[in-house]
Structure 1
Amino acid sequence: MSSLSQGYRIAASTGLHRGDRAYQQDQVMILAHPRVAGCALGLVADGMGGKSGGRTASDQVVMTARQVFDRFAPSEDDPTEMLRLLVVESHLMIKLTAITADEEPHSTIAAFLILPDRSAYTAHAGDSRVYHFRGSDMLERTIDHSYVQRLIDEGKITEAQANTHPQSNLLTGCLGTQQDPPVTLKQLDRLDVGDALLACSDGLWHYLTAKELGAIISALPPRDASEMLVNKARQRARGMGDNLSLALIRLDPMT
Structure 2
Amino acid sequence: MSWWNEPTSQNSAPVTAGAASDTGLARDENEDAYGDFASQEAEERLFIVADGMGGHEQGQEASRMTVAAVQDTFFGVREGTVLERLRRGLCEANERVYGEAEKRETEGSIGTTATAAALVEGIVYLAHVGDSRAYRFRADESQQLTRDHTVAREMQRRGALTAEEARSHPRRGTLTRAIGVEPSVDVDLKEIGPFRAGDRLLLCTDGLETLSDTVLREAVLGHSPQRACEHLVQRANERGGHDNATALVVHKAQS
Matched, 1:230 2:230: no
Matched, 1:126 2:122: no
Task: Quote the Cα distance in structure 1 between the aligned partners of 2:59 and 2:182.
Answer: 16
Which of 75, 100, 105 pairs up with 2:103? 100
Task: Quote the Cα distance in structure 2 between the aligned partners of 1:192 and 1:100.
Answer: 45
Cα pair 2:151 2:171 within 8 Å, conserved = yes
Q: How far 1:110 moved relative to its partner?
A: 0.6
Task: Quote the Cα distance in structure 1 between the aligned partners of 2:180 and 2:12.
Answer: 41
Q: How far 1:62 moved relative to its partner?
A: 1.4
Give the residue type in structure 1 aligned to 2:246: S
Task: Quote the Cα distance in structure 1 between the aligned partners of 2:11 and 2:54.
Answer: 44
Unaligned runs of 5+ residues in structure 1 are none
Cα pair 2:16 2:250 within 8 Å, conserved = yes
Cα pair 1:64 1:89 within 8 Å, conserved = yes
Cα pair 1:12 1:249 within 8 Å, conserved = yes
Q: How far 1:247 moved relative to its partner?
A: 1.8
Which of 145, 156, 170 pairs up with 1:152? 156
Deviating more after overlay: 134-143 vs 120-129: 134-143
Deviating more after overlay: 76-85 vs 221-230: 76-85
Task: Quote the Cα distance in structure 1 between the aligned partners of 2:22 and 2:140.
Answer: 24
Cα pair 1:137 1:214 within 8 Å, conserved = no
Change (3 A) 1:244 1:102: farther
Corresponding residue for 2:81? 78
Change (3 A) 1:5 1:245: closer
- Cα deviation 1:85-131 (Å, max 9, x = unaligned): 01100000001111334853111101101012x11100111111111
Give the fraction of aligned pairs with identical amino acids, expressed as a percent. Answer: 28
Q: How far 1:70 moved relative to its partner?
A: 2.5
Which of 206, 210, 213 pairs up with 1:210? 213
- Cα deviation 1:136-166 (Å, max 9, x = unaligned): 6313420111101111111121222222111
Unaligned runs of 5+ residues in structure 2 are 1-5
Task: Quote the Cα distance in structure 2 between the aligned partners of 1:169 and 1:23.
Answer: 18
Task: Quote the Cα distance in structure 2 between the aligned partners of 1:136 and 1:17.
Answer: 30
Deviating more after overlay: 173-182 vs 49-58: 173-182
Corresponding residue for 1:27? 33
Corresponding residue for 1:252? 253
Task: Quote the Cα distance in structure 1 between the aligned partners of 2:9 and 2:189.
Answer: 28
Q: How far 1:212 moved relative to its partner?
A: 2.0
CA root-mean-square deviation: 1.8
- TM-score, structure 2 normalization: 0.90
Q: How far 1:65 moved relative to its partner?
A: 1.7
Corresponding residue for 1:47? 52
Corresponding residue for 1:182? 186
Task: Quote the Cα distance in structure 1 between the aligned partners of 2:28 and 2:140.
Answer: 34
